[in-house]
Amino acid sequence: MPKPISLFEAALPLLTMLLCLVLGGFFVPMSTELLVLVMLVATAVAGIIAARYGHDWDAIQRTTGEKIATVLPVILILLSIGMLIGTWMFSGTIPLLVYYGVQLIDPQFMIITAFLVTAMMSMTGSSWAAAGTIGVALMGVAAAIDSPLAATAGAVVSGAYFGDKLSPLSDQTNICAIGANANLYGHIRNMAYTAGPSFIVALLVYYVAGALTDGDSVAEADINHPILREIEQAYTVSWLVFIPALIVILGTFKRKPAALVMVVSSVSAMLIGIGVHGFSAYNSILSAVSGFNVGMIGTLANTPSDMLLSLLNRGGVNSMSTTLIIIVAAFLLAAGMDVSGALDKLLQTMIERANSVFGLIAATLASGATMIALTSHGGVTALIVGGLFQDGYRERGLAPENLSRSLEDSVTILEPLMPWTVSAIFMATTLGVPTMEYMPWAVFCMTGWIFSLLLAAFYERTGFGLKTL
């Protein structure tokens, strides 16, 4: 019978990854290549520890395959959004959203607008769909009017996860309620105690950031903006280009499979690009697979500007290949820690130290954050952590809605802040801003756990913020 793994050895792969990220950031820019290397180093440490406890490489490979299989629907969505972005450039959907956005959005309100618009879009229940559609368009508008891209990206991420956390249409919201054995609508109402303050803080930060913007340094969003003339030359301005976006919105509201809805939207975008703008059928296929390219447009009178190139040259299934490499590396690390018993050791240690209401909430948040960092699967994490902590909440007379809220405040909204997770990789790839750059501006995601801990800390004095049985 092998001896149980020690707490130090259980945490060593994570400590290694953190140390390598910090040290690496001093010598080279934070990049995808550095992230992959760091995760592989941490995986090697996890593998050595697993071997010490009698587990071989085959076990790690097998567990990696099992973990990847659990997130296959997410990977399919990832690939379909790559296709969606490329074909929406081909159809003019995103460029025309930018076209109208540049004329309608005041540069000083760009950041707060990005937050509110994405929040409304994400109430359809999908943070990824919101960021991959309207979020991409908003980033294009921000680039066109010289609004800070990192702040805009952070606002998009905040807005996207606001809806993902509070919408009854969201899979993750439903799973968190199931994992805690809580009533869905009771769960959503109880989240107002942490999501409400986080939303207000985000609004204030984004409003102040916009108000402090130097008006002289920001390009005027008027009808003479050069990007508008280029878009008019490249595309036929028509309401038909918004049909692909309408398909995504309707499909999401009707709760159709996300990947299937995006493929249908992509096909409609390809047809619109051919029928409305006169682009070739072959280029429609290239846009879906390899991404759209300005060279596909034959109507530009002049050499395209750098702004137009950065707006249009993107998308395609192939654009997600690097993301898939990072996902495999992340799951290798998770598998190494899983087979060695490190993950179980970390979770059990957190549970044992939950000796008060504050300790219970803190342990739930820490367990959720740790497991989502290693699995990148919100559903699995919510079900496992929820199952582990249900008795603890019941013993202290706390309703399961408090547990489900703690799962949302850790599992749901912290994942896009961890550069190696699937959600963070997706957001960075889709919005074109590295995770470490948008992270300080993802205010809604950054503050939820803080309010959760504050309510727990003062609960015994105030009796406020936690629901009793």
Please state the domain extents for the chain: 73-315
Residue-level pLDDT at 57: 86
Using alpha carbons, list the distances in angstroms from residue 278 to 228, 268, 275, 282, 284.
20, 14, 6, 12, 11
State both tokens at 136. Answer: 């991409």
Q: Return averaged pLDDT per consecutive 10 residues of the chain, 469 residues in all.
A: 78 84 72 78 90 86 84 79 89 86 80 90 77 85 86 94 80 80 84 92 92 57 66 87 88 79 93 93 94 84 77 85 78 84 80 80 87 74 76 84 90 88 86 91 92 88 80
Which residues have CB under 8 Å from 176's CB, separation 6+?
A: 182, 187, 382, 386, 404, 407, 408, 411, 412
Two tokens, residue 427: 């957001």
Cα 367 vs. chain centroid, distance in angstroms?
Answer: 19
Q: How far apart are CA 279 and CA 271, in angstroms?
A: 9
Tell me which amino acid residue 373 is: A
Check: CB of residue 276 under 8 Å from CB of residue 242: no
At 284, which helix (H) or strand (E)? helix 281-289
8 A C-beta contact, residue 147 and residue 209: no
Question: What are the C-alpha distances in Å from 375 to residues 15, 336, 401?
Answer: 17, 12, 24
d(CA 385, CA 408): 11
Pick from 117, 143, 130, 150: nearest CA to 84:
130
Per-position DSSP letters for 15-51, written without gaps between them: HHHHHHHHHHHHHS---HHHHHHHHHHHHHHHHHHHH
Closest to 271 in 3D by CA, of 262, 280, 259: 280
The DSSP result for 114-157, as a single string, is HHHHHHHHHTTS-HHHHIIIIIHHHHHHHHHTT--HHHHHHHHH
Place of tokens 């066109």: 144
CB 390 within 8 A of CB 400: yes
Q: Which of 155, 160, 153 is nearest to 122 (CA)?
A: 160
pTM recorded for the entire structure: 0.74
Q: Residues 89, 90, 92, CA angle at the centre, nearest 5°? A: 60
Integer Cα distance of 285 and 245 in angstroms: 19
Sign of CA dihedral 278, 282, 285, 286: negative
Quote the CA–CA distance of 453 and 398 in Å, as a whole number: 15
Rama region for 238: left / alpha / beta (φ>0; ψ in -120 to 50; rest): beta
Q: Is 77 helix (H, G, I), strand (E, B) or coil?
A: helix
Structure confidence at residue 223 (pLDDT):
47
